[in-house]
Amino acid sequence: MKVGVGARTDVGLLREGNEDAYLAEDVLFAVADGMGGHLAGDVASSITVDALRERAAEEPPADPDALAGLLYRANTAIFERARHDPSLHGMGTTCTALMIGAEEAHIAHVGDSRAYLLRNGSLSQLTQDHTLVNRMVQEGKLRSEDAERHPQRSVLTRALGVDPEVKIDTQSLDTKEGDRLLLCSDGLTSMVDTDSIAEALRSEKDPQSAADHLVEIAIAAGGEDNVTVVVLDLTTEGVVVPREDTEVGAGIPIARSGDFSGSESGFQQPGVGIPQGRTRASTSEAVPSHKRERTLLLSALVLLVLVALAYAGTRFALSNSYFVGVNDDRRITIFSGIPERILGIAFREPKDQSYVTLSDLPPFKQEDVREGIRVDSLADAHALVDSLEELASDPELKPNRRRS
């Protein structure tokens, strides 16, 4: 069986960098979606893809266990790298790897990237997401239609590199000529529903066009995350190889979230930028003193009203914004307000706190919470805290087991 390949990765519209990586080489394919602060996720996904490429060249995996063996080695490589470099602590990555054999395909998988099979026009998902919400769905604690919009839908229960050991799912499937396989990061599946993915895969004959189309619809839907797709056509005919330059959008300057350097000088404390009208202008001598006093009084009143309005407006806006962060006791806390400080001033008010502390969470989640996670509503904030409490109680993710 020959393999026609299309592949593309894109930073998306909101992210600072691309922490996804993919491999498309001979008969070995993979998508890895890294996580960790300050582009550590980029390191984790690159280590994985590089390790797969190198090891596969030395000893090509012949069965799913051999393919899983490559992922175990990548797990160790990431974990060791993070152990020796504090700036990379907590980094990790998903990986969905696929090997095409003569009449079968082998899959090894950890995390929430996915593998799909399009056969005879119908699309089936081959992998299970290792996410908290997927587990809650399976345990009957959450409806699957609510899972798609859950604020913590991307919290992983398993990833490469965060623990010395990791459990890897494996499977093999018999392949048929005409099968089309898709590997993708959650930047596609969180933005585009399954029907639209199926439609895109059915409508494009060429695998590269299909890959391009999928990335385009993920970006058109908001492009909130890095998006990576690998499309494979199993055929006995001529083979299409992926383009060399598959990265797009890298040269376009993207406004960084939390980067206010451009607008900082525009911030003003109430009143600071308002003309005071108190310069000793010679013309003031011509104004009768009682009139001058009245003008001054009026200016002060206007100023007071403006400050009061600004204050009320800010209070109103902040009382309708919520985020989940930590309080002074390091407890997970729901705040109304915003996680950022403006001119060194915090605009937040605690609403509710959890029994869980920051150190109860696995390291890869601690940084997000420390910085504060914005949510759309108080209900979303409670849903997020529920999932964090679930995460803290997960025996697979006990933080004290993490570093020896």
CA 87 to each of CA 47, 163, 305, 398: distance values in angstroms, whole numbers, following the listed order: 16, 17, 48, 21
Considering the complex, what minimum distance in angstroms separates the CB of residue 129 from Ca ion? 12
Considering the complex, what minimum distance in angstroms separates the CB of residue 48 from Ca ion? 14
Considering the complex, what minimum distance in angstroms separates the CB of residue 109 from Ca ion? 15
Considering the complex, what minimum distance in angstroms separates the CB of residue 19 from Ca ion? 7
Considering the complex, what minimum distance in angstroms separates the CB of residue 186 from Ca ion? 5
Q: Which is nearer to Ca ion, 187 or 362 (CB)?
A: 187
Considering the complex, what minimum distance in angstroms separates the CB of residue 125 from Ca ion? 17
Considering the complex, what minimum distance in angstroms separates the CB of residue 152 from Ca ion? 13
Q: Which is nearer to Ca ion, 33 or 163 (CB)?
A: 33
CA 45 to each of CA 22, 95, 240: distance values in angstroms, whole numbers, following the listed order: 8, 8, 26
- Cβ 189 vs Cβ 197: under 8 Å: yes
How far from the centroid of its chain's Cα atoms is residue 28's Cα? 25
What is the full DSSP assignment across 116-152? EEEETTEEEE-S---BHHHHHHHTTSS-HHHHTT-TT
Q: Which residue has 């005919």 as its token pair?
A: 237
Considering the complex, what minimum distance in angstroms separates the CB of residue 34 from Ca ion? 8
Structure tokens at 142: 């959450």
Q: Which is nearer to Ca ion, 4 or 223 (CB)?
A: 223
From CA 328, how far away is CA 186, in angstroms rounded?
34
The two beta strands, 2-10 and 247-248, are parallel
Q: Within 10 A of 52 (CB to CB), how many other CB atoms are there?
A: 27
Question: Residues in the site for Ca ion, rule: CB under 5 A?
Answer: 33, 186-187, 225
CA-based nearest residue to 194, from 243, 129, 124, 141: 124
Q: Which is nearer to Ca ion, 4 or 187 (CB)?
A: 187
- Cβ 82 vs Cβ 130: under 8 Å: no
Q: Which is nearer to Ca ion, 31 or 107 (CB)?
A: 31
- Cβ 200 vs Cβ 213: under 8 Å: yes
Considering the complex, what minimum distance in angstroms separates the CB of residue 179 from Ca ion? 26
Sequence-distant (6+) residues with CB within 8 A of 355 are 331, 389
Q: Within 10 A of 346 (CB to CB), how many other CB atoms are there?
A: 12
What single-letter amino acid sits at 282? S
Q: Which is nearer to Ca ion, 8 or 55 (CB)?
A: 8
Considering the complex, what minimum distance in angstroms separates the CB of residue 269 from Ca ion? 39
The 3-state DSSP class for residue 315 equals helix
CA 170 to each of CA 52, 167, 214, 342: distance values in angstroms, whole numbers, following the listed order: 16, 10, 26, 49
Sequence-distant (6+) residues with CB within 8 A of 40 are 34, 82, 87, 88, 89, 90, 91
Q: Which is nearer to Ca ion, 179 or 225 (CB)?
A: 225
